[in-house]
């Protein structure tokens, strides 16, 4: 079985000393050392770090539609625990995900409301093996693999090394292109405007106030069930793009910070948006 947590190496070159000092002394990066997520190789001026990804074995599920859930970069706490979105304030993501009409845990499966020592292992194994009931096979990937608490923190880490950051951006896009080609992924779901912008070239205005736009669109849909009206109102959050030689559809969902908004409405807004995207994927595949 494939692994979720892997080690990567980044050559820092002349920026080795400056990057090392930031990680070792700035509070924003304290968790990288505290959690033992990185180490430095002064002989080769390299940063060795741990990261996360979930790539199921598609050959075992050839009839299912591969969909990539794309995030900006990993959170240090989730990498340390061994699973995407496993830090306490993020765990409800998994509840929202499996509240979808298109995903179902196996009978006698995992209790996502009360996590214990077995939850991480069982959930990670489930996602890697793809043994949940669904027409979709979900991949999890980060555009930038280096873990920090916020994407802004990662950019600050390399602010004094613009050429190195440009290399990280370029490498991230190239790796994403290879993944989508190798796994024949035609649909990507992102949860943050900047990630959508990085893939599609959309302007900042495209996703400004996106959370409120999504909430209003879902509310209107629940009143009249007008799918056409729904997608017209959120048309800015869908784009076709090319990654390398691969054509893909990119869908902007609701940000994960808002995953629990909408308590008492059956499915939360986060899940409603995800299900609308899943429905659209099925209809266009």
String of b and e for 240-272 (b: at least 16 CB within 10 Å)? eeebeebebbbbbbbbbebbeebeeeebbbbbb
d(CA 283, CA 65): 12
Provide the 3-class DSSP secondary structure of residue 221: helix
pTM for the structure as a whole: 0.97
d(CA 27, CA 277): 38
Query: Sheet holding 246-252: strands in order across?
Result: 136-142, 65-71, 187-190, 246-252, 238-243
Q: What is the SS3 string spanning 98-153?
A: HCCCCEECCCCCCCCCCCCCCHHHHHHHHHHHCCCEECEEEEEEECCCCCCCCHHH
> What's the pLDDT at 25?
96
> What's the pLDDT at 108?
80
Contacts of 179 (CB under 8 A, 6+ apart): 55, 68, 139, 141, 185
> What's the pLDDT at 28?
95
161 domain-assigned: yes
Cβ count near 191 (within 10 Å):
23
> What's the pLDDT at 164?
97
> What's the pLDDT at 104?
96
188 domain-assigned: yes
Query: Sheet holding 38-41: strands in order across?
Result: 5-11, 46-52, 38-41
DSSP run (H or E) holding 91: none
Handedness of CA 52, 159, 165, 139 (dihedral sign): positive
36 domain-assigned: no
33 domain-assigned: no
d(CA 137, CA 63): 9
Domain count, the chain: 1
> What's the pLDDT at 1?
72
Are β-strands 65-71 and 187-190 bridged in parallel, bridged antiparallel, or unpaired? parallel
28 domain-assigned: no
Domain that holds residue 175: 52-284
d(CA 131, CA 183): 18
Residue 85 Ramachandran class (φ > 0 left, ψ -120 to 50 alpha, else beta) = left
By residue count, the chain amounts to 285
- Asked if residues 10 and 136 have their Cβ atoms less than 8 Å apart, the reply is no
Query: Domain with 85 in it: what CATH number?
Result: 3.40.470.10
d(CA 2, CA 141): 14
Provide the total of helices (H) and of strands (E) in the chain, helices listed first.
12, 10
90 domain-assigned: yes
The tens-digit pLDDT sequence of the chain (285 residues) is 799 999 999 999 999 999 999 999 999 999 999 999 999 999 999 999 999 999 999 999 999 999 999 999 999 999 999 999 999 999 999 999 999 999 999 988 799 999 998 999 999 999 999 999 999 999 999 999 999 999 999 999 999 999 999 999 999 999 999 999 999 999 999 999 999 999 999 998 888 999 999 999 999 999 999 999 999 999 999 999 999 899 999 999 999 999 999 999 989 999 999 999 999 999 999
Distances (CA, A) of 71 to 22, 61, 216, 253, 266: 24, 23, 24, 11, 26
2 domain-assigned: no
193 domain-assigned: yes
């Amino acid at each position: 079985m494939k692994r979720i947590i892997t080690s990567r190496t980044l050559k820092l070159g002349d920026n080795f000393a400056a990057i090392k000092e930031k990680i070792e002394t700035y509070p924003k990066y304290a968790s990288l050392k505290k959690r033992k997520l990185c180490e430095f190789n002064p002989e080769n001026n390299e940063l060795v770090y741990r990261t996360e990804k979930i790539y199921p074995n598609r050959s075992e599920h050839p009839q299912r539609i591969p969909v990539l859930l794309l995030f900006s970069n990993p959170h240090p706490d989730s990498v340390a625990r061994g699973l995407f979105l496993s830090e306490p304030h993020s765990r409800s993501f998994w509840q929202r995900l499996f509240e979808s009409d298109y995903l179902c845990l196996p009978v006698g499966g995992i209790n996502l409301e009360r996590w214990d020592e077995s939850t991480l292992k069982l959930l990670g194994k489930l996602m890697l093996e793809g043994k949940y009931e669904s027409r979709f096979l979900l991949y999890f990937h980060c555009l930038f693999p280096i873990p920090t608490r916020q994407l802004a923190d990662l950019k600050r880490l390399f602010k004094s090394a613009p050429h190195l950051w440009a290399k990280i951006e370029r490498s991230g896009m190239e790796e994403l292109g290879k993944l989508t080609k190798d796994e024949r992924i035609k649909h990507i779901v992102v949860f943050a405007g900047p990630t959508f912008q990085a893939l599609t070239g959309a302007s900042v205005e495209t996703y400004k106030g996106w959370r409120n736009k999504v909430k209003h669109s879902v509310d209107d849909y629940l009143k009249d069930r007008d799918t056409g009206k729904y997608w017209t109102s959120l048309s800015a959050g869908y784009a076709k793009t090319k990654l390398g030689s691969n054509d893909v559809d990119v869908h902007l969902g609701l940000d994960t910070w808002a995953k629990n908004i909408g308590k008492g409405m059956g499915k939360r807004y986060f899940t409603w948006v995800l299900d609308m995207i899943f429905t659209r994927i099925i209809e266009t595949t």
